[in-house]
Structure formats: structure tokens, C-alpha cells
Structure 1
Amino acid sequence: MIYVRRDPALIPEKVLKVAERAQAALEALPPEERVAFIKNKSHIWRGFKKYLARMSYGKCWYSESPDPQSFFDVDHFRPKAEARRSDTADPDEGYPWLAFSWENFRFSAGRSNRLSTDEHTDETVGKGSWFPLCQGSPVAEWAHRNVVERPMLLDPVNSADMDLIRVESDGSIKPSYTCVGTNASRVKQSIELYGLDLPRLTEARLRIMRDVQQKFEALLKIVAVANDFPLAADPLPVQEQAAAIKATTMPDSPYSLAARCKLIELGGADLIARPEDYPPVQSLPA
């Protein structure tokens, strides 16, 4: 999971207008008709999928997975029809007023968005309608929408949330070194509900980390030769190797958080891509 910068300019005006019309119709409905109306309009949020995907270079916003064999959803970060807060409390109505709000949409791989079983532990993973809040947080509702909630789940569009996690040397997601208290609990719940430590994901992150280490060790050898034989240094592929390493940390690279964390571990933080290095996000046709 890394920060995803949302860009409304990527979304065609006609797609936004369809959502606006649905929202206006929803606002006019009595409470008992809202859920059925929302469920009958799923094509509206599905219409945003390819534009959300472009914002993350085709990767799941939660897992950073680009797996072409996975199905992808448009997840409602705040659930549209019901919200489960705990194992002991009944679900509440959730956030129906955000059903057609593109700012509430997240591009998600199915294993992060839908409930499924971890085949190794038999535990249920996936976000589903879960949306727990921090202890003492106010709860927004239809009549009081502007309440500032404190969600337990990390949100990839919140850069401060992305500072709370790191990838451990075994490929697992852990709280960052300065993440403590409630934030550490938020990381733990996010790992569980987004399925971030499913075996295939940790293995994929490990592959990236091994690749980064091999590239970094090769770079060190090239630099050592250059230092030992300065007259022969110019033709050596130092910059090319450095660029190959930096590419693994770009936001369009799979599991780039794992690559970044591995470089920090190896002492190569200066090779991590900076925002000015990022590739452009091209507009899609309407």
C-alpha cells in the first residue's frame, strides 16, 4: 500500500454527471427505498473503474497487486449499504449518501474487498462491509454527514496513513518504527481486513525485495570497480544500474513499498524515486 493521488481530471464529465443525477434521485427518496435504489445502480460506480485504475497505474490501492488473474472491484471505502463496526454490535446503515461519490471509491483487488477464506489459516479476510472506528470517534449519519470520523482502516489516499506501515524482511506488513498506540492497532486491523499478509502477497513482495537486493549488490560491485580503476570508470553502467533500482520504487511498479523498504534496509535510501521522478498518468478515452 502506497499513497494514491486522485485526479478528477482523468474522469470524463459525462461519467461524473451520471453519478450526480443518481445522487440527486437518491436524496429525494424516503429512507426505506434507498438501499434498493443503490443496489440497482451498481453500473454507476463500475463506470469509474478504469479511471480509478489509471490513478494507481493498474494496481490495487490496498495491496499494490497488479495481478492480471485477479478480478478488481470499485470498493466503497465507507460502505454504502451497511457498516459493521465490531463482532458484537449489529451493523448500522453505513453511508448511503456516499454510494455515488467517486471520492469514496477505491480500486481494489477482490481479495481485499470481498470476504474470502485464507486457505492457510481458514480465517476470513477481506473488507466486505467492515468499517470500524477508533474508540470514542463520532459516527456520521444521513442527517449529520459532516462529522469528522476517525476510521480504524488505513486509507491509501491519506499520505499520513501511508507513513504508518513498512514491509518487514520476510515480506510481511508491519507498523512503521514510529507507529504506536491507536495507530498500531489501525495497522493491525487494516492488515487483517485488507488481507495484506495473504501468502501470495508476502511471496510477491519477497520476490521484489530479492530482486532489489541483487540489483543493489551488483551496483556496489560496479562502483567498487570504478573506484579501483578510475580511468576505466566512465563506460561502466553505474547510472543504468541505479536507474533500474529506482524503477522498482516508482508508483507504477508492483509492490513498490517493499522495494523502498528493502533499499532503506540496505542503506540505499538515496535510490528511492522522488515525486519528480514519477511517470505521468495519461488520460483515458471517454
Structure 2
Amino acid sequence: MRVINLDQLEEVFDSLNGNRKGSFDTWLEKAEKCLEEIRSMSKEDRSTYWSRNNIWRELYPALSKLSGHKCWYSEAPENSSEWEIDHYRPKAESRSEEGTIVREDGYWWLSYKWENFRLAGSLVNKLRKDRFDSNGEVYGKGSFFPLETEDIAQPEDEDCNCERPLLIDPIKPRDVTLISFDKNGDPFPTYNENESKFYHKKAMLSIKYYGLDHKPLSRGRRKIWANCEMVVKKAHNYIKNNINDPVRRDEKIDECFLQLSKYSRYTEPYSMIVRNFVKEKLKDKEYSWLKEVERVLV
């Protein structure tokens, strides 16, 4: 997972609509009208209305471009599953980590607020079982939205500052650092419980509810790790065996840095795995030459 700059949505939306200034403003007007119409509705009527007026789908191309056409949660490429616009705070109802209902009517007042939209693959957004795993556990975000405290935002509170969500939000820079990956492509919390109980739990629940340990996702990350390993191994071998050729040595390092930089582009699948790879390699002093690459990872 990498941070998404949602503030660029208006600019991207307008550019995809022929660079017509005000295109996004027109969508906002429609959204505000829809929100006004559902304010006095019952939960059941809202559900029917949403299915007929899901105008958030019009933002799909722009939301997709913001992430380089990848799922915001898993970094899986666009062709890996069906795509959906997830309401980060669920619009119909919200549930705790135990599955009990927290808000029976959900965050309905955010259902047409673009700030609450996230692009997700159906494997992340929908409840399902991992067909590659025999334990039968259910994965997927669904309506789960666990909170650390009992404070719950009330209708019309657009900021929801009283809440402390236990799910990582890809538009928050610090949040996306809370999950790391190993050489097998498997996710794990960046912080252990002793370092930060809150961050550890947030990572664990996000891995579970976003299905980030889904086997195909791990395989995809493992492939990128292996590619990084091959590039670095080739450069390292030259460095060790040609210490009297500093010019060619620097050329090999440059080639290595360039390739790692390419793997880390926001348009590349599972690009955050590159940072984890470099972090792990730097634990070995032999690879100290690799430290400077952190400056060029994008």
C-alpha cells in the first residue's frame, strides 16, 4: 500500500473530461442533490436510492489514475479483479471487529462525499473465503469499520475527528507505513505490540479485513522481491570482484539504482515491496553501497 493524493482528484477528473474547467463542480452539485434527497429517508429507502443513483462510479477513471490503475489497498494491478469504489466509512452500516453493529444506519451522510471514496478490488472490498487456503476464514472489508474507542461520529459530522479507526487509510501517509512485507511477499505489522499496541493492531486488522495475505497477492509481491534480488545480486557480484575498476563499478551501481527505481514507480504493481527489500538488504553491511538508493525510490 502506498499513499494516494486524493487532493488531486478534481484536477484529474477535469483532465479526463476534456480539460473542461468545472466538470468536477458539476459532479459535486449532483452529489449534493443526492445527499439532500436521502437525508429524510429510511435505511431501506436509502439502499434502494443508492443502487439507482450510484454516481460515485463516474469518478472511477479519475480514482484509478491517481493510483496508477491499482487497488488502493493491495496495489494489485487493474486486471487482477473487478473494481469497486469503496466507502472507507461504510455507508449502510458499520461493524466492529467482533462483527457487532456499531452504526445501524452507517455513515450515510458521507455516501456522496468524494473524500470518503477509495478504489478497491472486489477481493478486498467483498466478504469471501480464500480459495487458496484451507482454513475457511472469511476475508474482505464488507461493512467492517472497527474503532479503537467508543466515540462514534454523529450524522452530518464530515470530519469524524472523534473517531480513531482501526483500519489503515491509503490517503494517510503515516498509515501506509504500518504494514511491511517479507521476502515471501507476506504482510506483517511494521510495529510489534511493545513498540505500539495501537499501530500493531491497526496493521493486523487491516491485513485481515483487506485480505492482504491472500495467496495470489503474496505471490505477486514475492515476484517483485525476486526481481529486486536478481538486480542487486548482479551489481553486488561485480562490486566484490572488480574493486580496481571504480568507473565500471559506479556504472553497475547506477544500473541497479535505475532498475529499482523503475520497480518502485507508483504505476508498478506491489511497488512498496521495493522499499521493504532495500530495508532488509541494508541490515547486511556488505550492502552499504545500496543505502543511497532510498533517495531515488519514488
Do the structures match in fold with TM over 0.5?
yes
State whether residues 31 and 112 of structure 2, in contact with CA within 8 Å, keep that contact through their aligned partners in structure 1. Answer: yes
Partner residue in 2 for 1:151: 165
Counterpart selection for 2:141 from 92, 111, 127: 127
- 2:201 maps to 185
* Structure 2 residue matching 1:153: 3-state secondary structure: coil
Name 1:87's counterpart in structure 2. 98
Contact 2:68–2:267 (CA<8 Å) still a contact in 1?
Answer: yes
Q: Which consecutive residues of structure 2, in runs of 5 or more, have no partner in the other structure? A: 15-21, 283-289
Q: Which runs of 4+ in 1 moved over 6 A?
A: none
**How big is the alpha-carbon RMSD for the aligned residues of Structure 1 and Structure 2?**
2.2
Describe the SS at the equivalent of 1:128. Answer: coil
**In structure 1, how many angstroms separate the alpha carbons of the residues matched to 2:263 and 2:99?**
43
Between Structure 1 and Structure 2, how many residues are aligned? 273
Q: Which of residues 22, 40, 57 in structure 2 aligns to 1:30?
A: 40
Query: SS of the residue aligned with 1:11?
Result: helix
Instruction: Say whether 1:138 aligns with 2:151.
Output: yes
Residues 249, 78 of structure 1: alpha-carbon distance in 2 compared, 3 angstrom cutoff: same
* Deviation sequence 1:66-125 (CA, Å, 0-9, x none): 051411111111111111224352352111111111111111111001111111132111
Identity percentage of aligned residues: 28
Q: Secondary structure at the match of 1:233?
A: helix
Asked if the contact 2:94–2:145 (Cα under 8 Å) also holds between the matched residues in 1, the reply is: yes
Work out which structure has the larger RCO, using CA pairs closer than 8 Å and 6 or more positions apart in sequence.
Answer: 1
Native 8 Å contact 1:57 1:252 kept in 2:
yes
Q: Equivalents in 2 of 1:193, 1:184: separation in Å? A: 14
**Matched AA of 2:119:** F
Cα distance in 2 between the residues matched to 1:153 and 1:272: 27
Question: Is contact 1:249–1:259 with CA below 8 Å preserved after alignment?
Answer: yes
Preserved contact between residue 94 and residue 141 of structure 1 (Cα < 8 Å)? no
Rounded to whole Å, the distance in 2 between the matches of 1:16 and 1:34 is: 24
2:293 aligns with 271
Matching residue's letter, 1:18: W
1:5 aligns with 2:5: yes
Indicate the SS of the match to 1:227: coil
1:143, distance to aligned residue in structure 2 (A) = 4.7
Which position in structure 2 is the counterpart of 1:176? 190
Which residue type is aligned with residue 36 of structure 2?
E
- Structure 1 residues 26 and 233, CA, compared in 2 at 3 Å: closer, same or farther? closer
Q: Which amino acid aligns with 1:200?
A: P
Tell me: CA distance 1:212–1:31, structure 2 relative to 1, closer, same or farther (3 Å).
Answer: same
Structure 1, 85-94 or 243-252: larger mean CA deviation: 85-94
2:24 and 2:253 map into 1 onto residues whose CA distance is 47
Secondary structure of the residue that 1:22 maps to in structure 2?
helix
Structure-2 residue corresponding to 1:281: none
TM superposition shift of 1:207: 0.9
Aligned to 1:246: 261
What CA distance in whole angstroms lies between the structure 1 residues aligned with 2:63 and 2:13? 8
Of 116, 130, 137, the match for 2:128: 116
2:81 aligned with 1:70: yes
CA distance in 2 between counterparts of 1:16 and 1:71 reads 28
Q: TM-score, normalised by structure 1?
A: 0.87
Q: Quick one: structure 1 residues 55 and 84, their matched pair in 2 at CA, closer, same or farther if it must change by over 3 Å?
A: same
